[in-house]
Chain A
Amino acid sequence: MTAQQPIIQLEGIKKVFYTDEVETHALSDIHLEVEAGEYLAIAGPSGCGKSTLLSLLGLLDSASEGAYNLDGQPVANLTASERAQVRNRQIGFIFQAFNLIGDLNVEENVELPLTYRKMPSAERKKRVQEALEKVGMAHRMKHYPSQLSGGQQQRVAVARAVAGEPAILLADEPTGNLDSKNGEAVMELLRDLHQGGATICMVTHDPRFARYAQRAVHLFDGRIVSEEEAAAVSGEYTAQAR
């Protein structure tokens, strides 16, 4: 791969769901490129296909048509096991509902993706420590999710997403289950990560949070209907950064 090549490249992506002989076109003719280190917001109303798009980007689902190159490599023909490996090494997920595992404590939750990577224990512990320090949750390592507030849980989820140093962070409505104060705190955290070099694709329907991104694409009825370039949001972004 070269430095100029987009890390995500979607060409003519279409996604159709079939239910009881009814065809639902969730995505149609999606062309999208995301550069390494870019912060992209995917916005749009409920049901417009933004979560479906994020699932395709995260290799949780496959496109019905079109080509998807991740880091320069086509993903269409990957086996389930190879897709799992790509998810584990190149993608970090942040979910709206945090999706921490209740039976595991904070440390174990963050460590989980690293265990699937067969990483040595000492290395895992080190990365977990660093990731939790990055999100300010190192002091809660032995706590269980049920002992944390929503904001704290999402910070742990962010730590889990970044612990494996993935190429891309995919965030699906990361503030959707949080009050505005905690929502702002999580967005600050993502901004810090982006400033540290992370590539972020974030689904949101809240324009306030879309403005944190360098670029926003707007979906409606499964199509990209508009793109706001970096300039449109950078002013506020820069102002906030200062």
Chain B
Amino acid sequence: MGPLRQDLRFAFRTLMRTPGFTAVAVLTLSLGIGGTTAMFSLVDGVLLRDLPFSESERLVTVWEDHRAVGGPIDEWTSPPTFRDWRNAEASLSGLAAVTDLQPTLLTGDRPRPLTGAGVTGEYFSVLQASLALGRGFTAEESQPGGPPAAVLSHRIWRQVFGSDPAILGRAIDVDGAPIMVVGIAGPDFRGPLIDADIWLPLVQAVSPACWDHRGCITVRTLGRLRPGASPEQATEELAGITLRIAENNPATHGDVGVTLIPLHDRLVGGVRPALLTLLAAVGFVLLITCVNLAGLLVARAARRQSEMAIRSALGAPRGRLFRQLLTESVLLAVFGGAGALLVVLWGVDFLVALLPPNLLALNTISVDGRLLAVAALLTVATGVAFGFLPALFATGHSLTTSRARAGHGQSGRRLRAVFLTAQVAMALTLLVGAGLLLRSLINVQSQDPGFRSDGIATAALALPAGRYPAATDVAAFFQRLSERLEADGRVADFSGVSSLPLVQGDMDVSFTTEADAARPETDRTPAVWYRQTLPDYFSLMGIRVVAGRALERQDAAGAPLVVVVNEEFVRRHIPSGDAIGQRLKFGRPGADSPWRTIVGVTADVRHRGLDQPVQAELFLPFAQAPSPFMFLTLRTVSGAAGGATVLREHLAALDPALPLDDVATLDERVAVSLGPRRVAAGLLTGFAGFALILTAIGLYGVVASMVGQRTREIGVRMALGATRRDVLRLVMGQGLRLTAAGIVLGGIAALALARLVTALLYGVTPTDAVTFLGVALVLGGAAALATYLPARRAAQLQPMNVLRAD
């Protein structure tokens, strides 16, 4: 312990003697270790740790596979198909169905919009979730006609009902109807797929017609594998059931398959590439920090030749000297690790806030003992990583002769050159990654969304079926609301739509065009996304009508039924290209539904996201197809400002029990839709920028140190006739040659690694020449600046002063 204490004491004194170097090193280490640890905490919590459910690795989701009919591999399913799948009892111990709800809880006079989930009775048992109070849903409650019941989240129970246990067995007002509370979820329970405030039996959430209709694609499923059963076995069993469904329903399910996805993969699959990319990026930053510090330590070692020679002469064995130097590095890393804790504390909260809130596993992301252990391990490893080679170098020569010292100086410069080249290569790789993501972001942002987003306030409004049971009630309410808003002098424009662009919750419907009416019933019926719109929706949103007309007030309930379609619809479903005047009806060719005439064609709108392909769509006049759930869109005379206040005032006058939900301007929704890309591009750019700064510092250090060591040589060269330009060229040339080598090596590495971020790119290839060239220029420019400063100092040397000092 004695020698170690001595080493530590001496290391501490050595570091304190060079406060500038120590401060810069500790700062960069803090950022490097802290950033890596914070990023690791996210990857650990989201990707590596189990979900917070008992034996969560056995939880799976089951989906209809619609790839054969041009749909997704993970399409939702219908209640009847779910009930068939539930029979896969050999491999599944339970299967539950889940659907989204937007119920309104009324307590006193205060309406409170909730996130709700309609679930089947198996839901809590599949998740093996213990309730804090009460029970889940009984078989009776899960059947059509069963008594209404609800399970509340622990959060709502605490916030709304003050954790009153007497709420159990009492009725609460949900959407204007009394529903009995039968259970309270556990305090840590958060539902997968839907993080709900309230759970209702699925049968209460689905219409009776939908309950038995295989085309009513409204539910997602969540199952638990039996112990010992594999996902492949379950898939095989479910495929057999799905095949029988197809055989019995060839018209609607002839080409439909089944897909099983583990719940964990389903929840985190979307963020996996971004998280792993960012972890790799921050790891690169730490590596660059290590290489940078190693270079600085080699320079220090060169300045400490005499000290090492004296210690050696006094009998210190090489091992002891090596240990002394390594102790200094590790002590430096420990200081950096202490600073890293601050970065971790702040960074974890920052990163968690950036992630999509539905990532259930976020529950487990916090600064705990495990994370601190990782930080400690990383700290020691970092100290050894950047200290090992310099210590080996510093103790690797006999330094007792000037000739040996000269050779030592040369090998030190070579070692630093290697470090610097590696640093440039890694920085270039990071910059290429950031460049590709930034170009993707720019490409997405420059997409024409098909609508204008500025100055429009939006909010969701759901009319509860209890108080607005009939379509005429719904239509009448929105008619009154429209009249009030149009009479309000503060309102410039008002409209509404059942599903806003960039908001999840699209609805699709199968349809038959007049031209297809004669096709056999067994043929596949195409489907289309549809939206109900209030008058003036297209003009308010700036959606161009490219043929025919927009939906207007004249398209009232009793008027001829009309629709407007988009250009993509015409491309896919109207072979002649002339849609105006053509007719279509919902359902299969034989369906008894009315024909609707296409009266207009709009330009395409990127409803699903600016980076998502355009879908075929149609728009229905609200008066001819009222929807109880609408997004209100409003522009006041001063734009989006005050829009929500105006809406609330009029709603309060019409029905005080109706809450506005999901209030946001359309600009904010666009920003949110770009959020994940912005976060990934922003973080990676931040990491790359940090790497660039470290590299520039490293380059500056190498060149400045070179100038310091070669001052006499530069003086001699000037005495022999070198001009200042010659000296600039000499000094900058050395730094820029190393940079060029690093750029070439980094370019090769980036070509290999860029393919890993393909999933995050949009409109740009992983080998995009513009990005590679641009990044090389940025790095070259930074290198030129970093080398110019010491080179200029060298060029201003007075040869006489240098030679006289000699």
Contacts and interface: CB of A to CB of B under 8 A. Distances in A.
Interface of A: 51, 55, 58, 60-61, 80-81, 84-85, 87-89, 93, 95, 97, 99, 101-103, 112-113, 116-117, 146, 160, 164
B803 A116 contact: no
A102 B406 contact: yes
B800 A117 contact: no
Interface stretch (B50-58, B515-523, B565-573, B710-718): B710-718
Contact of B716 (A88, A101, A117, A146): A101
Given A95-B803, A99-B712, A103-B410, A58 B719 contact: yes
B678 interface: no
Interface in B364-407: 403, 406-407
Interface in B782-806: 798-800, 803-804, 806
B749 to A, nearest CB: 30
A87 B720 contact: yes
Contacts of B403: 146
A89 B804 CA distance: 23
A116 B726 contact: yes
B799 A113 contact: no
Contacts of B724: 80-81, 84
B407 A160 contact: no
Interface string B396-439: 00000001001100100000000000000000000000000000
A160 B719 CA distance: 12
Given A55-B800, A103-B410, A84 B721 contact: yes
B722 interface: yes
A51 B801 CA distance: 11
Contacts of A89: 721
Contacts of A95: 716, 719, 803, 806
A237 to B, nearest CB: 29
B721 A87 contact: yes
A148 to B, nearest CB: 11
Nearest to B726: A116
Contact of A84 (B410, B713, B722, B800): B722
B287 to A, nearest CB: 30
9 contacts: A51-B804, A55-B803, A60-B718, A80-B724, A84-B722, A84-B724, A95-B803, A116-B723, A116-B726
B725 interface: yes
Contacts of A146: 403, 406-407
B805 to A, nearest CB: 11
Contacts of A58: 719
Most B CB within 10 A of own CB, among A58, A60, A93, A95: A60
Contacts of A81: 723-725
Instruction: Give the interface SS of chain B, mostly helix, strand, loop or mixed.
Output: helix
A103 B717 CA distance: 13
A84 B804 CA distance: 18
A112 B719 contact: no
A60 B723 contact: no
Interface in B551-566: none
Which 8 pairs show the lowest CB-CB distances between chains A and B?
Answer: A88-B721, A60-B800, A113-B720, A84-B723, A99-B716, A116-B721, A61-B800, A55-B800
Most B CB within 10 A of own CB, among A84, A101, A103: A84
Contacts of B804: 51, 55
A187 B600 CA distance: 105
Contact of A116 (B406, B722, B798): B722
Given A51-B804, A95-B803, A97-B806, A84 B718 contact: yes
Contact of A93 (B407, B719, B726): B719
A60 B806 CA distance: 15
A85 B722 CA distance: 8
Contacts of B407: 146
Contacts of B713: 99, 101-103
A58 B715 CA distance: 13
Nearest to B727: A84
Contacts of A88: 720-722
Nearest to B717: A112
B723 A160 contact: no
Contacts of A101: 713, 716-717
Contacts of A51: 804
Interface residues of B, number: 23
Contacts of A61: 798, 800
Nearest to B713: A101
A113 B723 contact: no
A85 B725 CA distance: 12
Contacts of B406: 102, 146
Contacts of A99: 712-713, 716, 719, 803, 806
Most A CB within 10 A of own CB, among B407, B718, B720, B806: B720
Nearest to A145: B406
A164 B722 CA distance: 14
Contacts of A87: 718-721
Most A CB within 10 A of own CB, among B713, B721, B803: B721
Nearest to A99: B716
Interface string B717-745: 11111111110000000000000000000
A97 B806 CA distance: 8
Nearest to A62: B800
Contacts of B410: 102-103
A89 B722 CA distance: 11
Contacts of A117: 721
A93 B722 CA distance: 13
Interface in B60-90: none
Given A95-B716, A146-B403, A113 B800 contact: no
Contacts of A103: 410, 713
B341 to A, nearest CB: 45
A112 B800 contact: no
A61 B798 CA distance: 8
A101 B718 CA distance: 12
Contacts of A97: 806
A60 B799 contact: yes
B721 A113 contact: yes
A85 B723 CA distance: 7
Most A CB within 10 A of own CB, among B410, B723, B724, B806: B723
Most A CB within 10 A of own CB, among B719, B726, B804: B719
Contacts of B720: 87-88, 93, 112-113, 116, 160
Given A60-B800, A85-B723, A113-B721, 8 more contacts: A60-B798, A80-B724, A87-B720, A93-B720, A99-B716, A101-B717, A116-B717, A160-B720
B201 to A, nearest CB: 84
B400 to A, nearest CB: 16
A87 B804 CA distance: 17
B405 to A, nearest CB: 11
A51 B713 CA distance: 19
B286 to A, nearest CB: 34
A89 B725 CA distance: 17
A55 B800 CA distance: 7
A97 B718 CA distance: 16
Interface in B674-720: 712-713, 716-720
Contacts of A164: 721
A95 to B, nearest CB: 7
Interface in B752-806: 798-800, 803-804, 806
Contacts of B718: 60, 84, 87
Contacts of B712: 99
A166 to B, nearest CB: 10
A96 to B, nearest CB: 8
B404 to A, nearest CB: 10
Contacts of A93: 719-720
Nearest to A172: B803
Nearest to B402: A146
Contacts of A60: 718-719, 798-800, 803
Most A CB within 10 A of own CB, among B406, B716, B724, B798: B716
A95 B723 CA distance: 19
Interface string B488-512: 0000000000000000000000000
